[in-house]
Amino acid sequence: MLKWLDILNFARNGNPVAPRRVDKSDQQWQSELAPETYMITRKKGTERPFSSQSCQLFEPGKYYCVCCGELLFDAEEKFDSGSGWPSFTQPAAVEAVAYHGDKSHGMTRVEITCNVCDSHLGHVFPDGPEPSGLRYCVNALAMEKK
């Protein structure tokens, strides 16, 4: 199970090795993705809180990267954070998610991206429920549930 120290270690010293890589040009992504999805995943946008019904859905299922199809999160790790964005306590697999220090907007945060295609997912915070204490705060539009 990943804890906050593991996250900081990834962000500072290097991410887990990706299971595979999907690399496309910005132009390719723009032509393949819906405009809002493109802005969030490739331009590090943020959807408005509570803009997705996905926050309140907790039935079993798996959440895949909308850009490359990599499995990112399992509904078993989903919880109601009240933040307005889908929230998870762990990724589906350690190597599925990459971590990056993010000093934008006057805050120091840890950005999370898809480790396969570098899609911007959201941020991870150390204020999630035990036992991991992690809160992966993810844009609903960055994921596809199956």
| Sites of contact with Zn ion (CB under 5 A) | 65, 67-68, 70, 114, 116-117, 119
Give yes or no for a contact between 121 and 134, defined as CB atoms under 8 angstroms apart.
no
CB of 129 to Zn ion, least distance (A): 26
CB of 8 to Zn ion, least distance (A): 23
Give yes or no for a contact between 113 and 119, defined as CB atoms under 8 angstroms apart.
yes
| Residue 79, helix vs strand vs coil | strand
User: Between 3 and 24, whose beta carbon lies closer to Zn ion?
Assistant: 24
| 137 given a catalytic annotation | yes
CB of 26 to Zn ion, least distance (A): 15
What does DSSP assign to residue 33?
S
Give yes or no for a contact between 66 and 37, defined as CB atoms under 8 angstroms apart.
yes
State the catalytic residues.
137
